Structure 1
Protein backbone atom coordinates (compact mmCIF):
# COMPACT_ATOMS: atom_id res chain seq x y z
CA UNK A 1 0.00 0.00 0.00
CA UNK A 2 1.19 3.51 -0.75
CA UNK A 3 -0.22 6.77 0.61
CA UNK A 4 -0.31 10.35 -0.74
CA UNK A 5 -1.71 13.43 0.97
CA UNK A 6 -2.91 16.58 -0.78
CA UNK A 7 -3.89 19.97 0.67
CA UNK A 8 -6.17 22.26 -1.29
CA UNK A 9 -6.20 26.04 -1.26
CA UNK A 10 -8.60 26.13 1.68
CA UNK A 11 -6.67 23.52 3.70
CA UNK A 12 -8.92 20.69 2.52
CA UNK A 13 -7.05 17.47 2.91
CA UNK A 14 -7.36 14.45 0.70
CA UNK A 15 -5.53 11.20 1.19
CA UNK A 16 -5.04 8.66 -1.55
CA UNK A 17 -4.25 5.05 -0.75
CA UNK A 18 -3.15 2.63 -3.44
CA UNK A 19 -3.85 -1.08 -3.06
CA UNK A 20 -3.28 -3.97 -5.49
CA UNK A 21 -6.82 -3.81 -6.89
CA UNK A 22 -7.97 -0.25 -6.14
CA UNK A 23 -7.25 3.31 -5.09
CA UNK A 24 -9.12 4.88 -2.18
CA UNK A 25 -9.43 8.66 -1.88
CA UNK A 26 -10.57 9.87 1.55
CA UNK A 27 -11.59 13.34 2.73
CA UNK A 28 -12.91 14.67 6.03
CA UNK A 29 -16.42 16.01 5.33
CA UNK A 30 -16.13 18.64 8.08
CA UNK A 31 -13.69 20.55 5.88
CA UNK A 32 -16.26 20.65 3.08
CA UNK A 33 -19.36 21.72 5.05
CA UNK A 34 -22.66 20.30 6.22
CA UNK A 35 -24.34 19.55 2.89
CA UNK A 36 -22.13 17.67 0.43
CA UNK A 37 -22.99 16.21 -2.97
CA UNK A 38 -20.50 14.19 -5.00
CA UNK A 39 -20.80 13.44 -8.70
CA UNK A 40 -18.42 11.30 -10.73
CA UNK A 41 -18.16 12.28 -14.40
CA UNK A 42 -15.74 10.03 -16.24
CA UNK A 43 -12.57 10.24 -14.19
CA UNK A 44 -13.45 13.54 -12.48
CA UNK A 45 -14.96 13.84 -8.99
CA UNK A 46 -17.05 16.97 -8.44
CA UNK A 47 -17.73 17.85 -4.80
CA UNK A 48 -20.34 20.55 -4.16
CA UNK A 49 -20.53 21.72 -0.54
CA UNK A 50 -22.94 24.09 1.16
CA UNK A 51 -21.68 25.95 4.21
CA UNK A 52 -24.28 28.36 5.54
CA UNK A 53 -25.16 30.65 2.65
CA UNK A 54 -22.06 29.79 0.62
CA UNK A 55 -21.73 27.04 -1.98
CA UNK A 56 -18.29 25.85 -3.10
CA UNK A 57 -17.34 23.38 -5.79
CA UNK A 58 -14.13 21.37 -5.89
CA UNK A 59 -13.06 19.10 -8.73
CA UNK A 60 -10.23 16.61 -8.83
CA UNK A 61 -9.10 13.91 -11.18
CA UNK A 62 -9.45 10.27 -10.20
CA UNK A 63 -6.94 7.61 -11.24
CA UNK A 64 -9.67 5.76 -13.19
CA UNK A 65 -13.37 5.73 -14.10
CA UNK A 66 -14.80 2.73 -12.19
CA UNK A 67 -15.58 4.65 -8.97
CA UNK A 68 -17.89 4.18 -5.99
CA UNK A 69 -18.71 6.92 -3.45
CA UNK A 70 -19.51 6.35 0.23
CA UNK A 71 -19.70 8.35 3.45
CA UNK A 72 -19.16 6.95 6.92
CA UNK A 73 -18.62 8.76 10.23
CA UNK A 74 -17.99 12.10 8.51
CA UNK A 75 -15.47 10.73 6.02
CA UNK A 76 -16.04 10.76 2.26
CA UNK A 77 -14.41 7.85 0.46
CA UNK A 78 -14.14 7.30 -3.27
CA UNK A 79 -12.97 3.84 -4.28
CA UNK A 80 -11.64 3.46 -7.80
CA UNK A 81 -11.12 -0.09 -9.03
CA UNK A 82 -8.10 -0.78 -11.21
Structure 2
Protein backbone atom coordinates (compact mmCIF):
# COMPACT_ATOMS: atom_id res chain seq x y z
CA UNK A 1 0.00 0.00 0.00
CA UNK A 2 1.23 3.48 -0.69
CA UNK A 3 0.59 6.75 1.13
CA UNK A 4 -2.27 7.76 -1.17
CA UNK A 5 -4.10 4.47 -0.53
CA UNK A 6 -3.69 4.88 3.24
CA UNK A 7 -5.16 8.38 2.97
CA UNK A 8 -8.22 7.03 1.11
CA UNK A 9 -8.79 3.94 3.26
CA UNK A 10 -8.33 5.50 6.70
CA UNK A 11 -8.92 9.23 6.23
CA UNK A 12 -5.38 9.65 7.54
CA UNK A 13 -3.24 12.58 6.54
CA UNK A 14 -0.05 10.91 5.31
CA UNK A 15 2.90 12.55 3.59
CA UNK A 16 6.49 11.88 2.62
CA UNK A 17 9.14 14.52 3.19
CA UNK A 18 12.76 14.79 2.03
CA UNK A 19 15.20 16.69 4.23
CA UNK A 20 18.47 16.17 2.34
CA UNK A 21 20.02 13.42 4.45
CA UNK A 22 16.71 12.15 5.87
CA UNK A 23 13.43 10.95 4.38
CA UNK A 24 10.34 10.93 6.58
CA UNK A 25 6.99 9.21 6.21
CA UNK A 26 4.44 10.78 8.58
CA UNK A 27 0.83 9.63 8.91
CA UNK A 28 -1.65 11.26 11.28
CA UNK A 29 -3.94 8.29 11.86
CA UNK A 30 -5.90 9.99 14.62
CA UNK A 31 -5.96 7.20 17.18
CA UNK A 32 -4.50 6.95 20.66
CA UNK A 33 -0.88 5.81 20.79
CA UNK A 34 -1.67 2.78 22.96
CA UNK A 35 -4.02 1.44 20.24
CA UNK A 36 -1.34 1.38 17.52
CA UNK A 37 1.87 -0.54 17.07
CA UNK A 38 4.33 0.25 14.33
CA UNK A 39 7.05 -2.05 13.05
CA UNK A 40 9.31 -2.17 10.03
CA UNK A 41 10.19 -5.41 8.25
CA UNK A 42 12.59 -5.04 5.34
CA UNK A 43 11.03 -2.21 3.29
CA UNK A 44 7.50 -2.49 4.72
CA UNK A 45 5.99 -0.42 7.53
CA UNK A 46 3.35 -2.42 9.41
CA UNK A 47 0.67 -0.60 11.40
CA UNK A 48 -1.57 -2.64 13.68
CA UNK A 49 -4.60 -0.84 15.13
CA UNK A 50 -6.54 -2.38 18.00
CA UNK A 51 -9.77 -1.42 19.67
CA UNK A 52 -13.36 -1.40 18.45
CA UNK A 53 -12.19 -2.27 14.96
CA UNK A 54 -8.91 -4.12 14.56
CA UNK A 55 -7.01 -3.41 11.36
CA UNK A 56 -3.59 -3.91 9.84
CA UNK A 57 -1.98 -1.75 7.18
CA UNK A 58 1.25 -2.29 5.31
CA UNK A 59 3.01 0.67 3.72
CA UNK A 60 6.01 0.86 1.45
CA UNK A 61 8.81 2.53 3.40
CA UNK A 62 10.76 5.27 1.66
CA UNK A 63 13.82 3.85 -0.09
CA UNK A 64 16.88 3.63 2.16
CA UNK A 65 17.78 2.40 5.64
CA UNK A 66 15.07 2.87 8.26
CA UNK A 67 16.64 4.52 11.31
CA UNK A 68 13.53 4.55 13.49
CA UNK A 69 9.76 4.17 13.46
CA UNK A 70 7.48 5.41 16.22
CA UNK A 71 4.08 6.87 17.08
CA UNK A 72 3.50 10.04 19.07
CA UNK A 73 0.15 11.80 19.59
CA UNK A 74 -1.48 9.69 16.88
CA UNK A 75 1.19 10.45 14.27
CA UNK A 76 3.19 7.50 12.92
CA UNK A 77 6.66 8.60 11.83
CA UNK A 78 9.22 6.56 9.92
CA UNK A 79 12.67 8.05 9.42
CA UNK A 80 14.92 6.75 6.64
CA UNK A 81 18.48 7.60 5.61
CA UNK A 82 18.80 7.47 1.80
Structures share a fold, TM > 0.5? yes
TM bin (shorter chain) = 0.7 to 0.9
Q: Give the C-alpha shift of residue 72 in structure 1.
A: 3.0
User: Which stretches in structure 2 are left out of the alignment for 5+ residues?
Assistant: none
1:17-28 equivalences in 2 (<5 Å)? 17-28=17-28
Structure richer in strand, relative to its length: 1
RMSD of equivalent CA atoms = 2.3
Q: Give the C-alpha shift of residue 69 in structure 1.
A: 1.0
Q: Give the C-alpha shift of residue 13 in structure 1.
A: 2.1
User: Which stretches in structure 1 are left out of the alignment for 5+ residues?
Assistant: none
Match of 2:60 in 1: 61
Whether contact under 8 Å (1:33, 1:50) holds in the other structure is no
What TM-score, normalized to structure 1?
A: 0.75
SS at match of 1:39: strand
Whether contact under 8 Å (2:48, 2:57) holds in the other structure is yes
The number of residues matched between the two structures is: 77
Structure richer in helix, relative to its length: 2
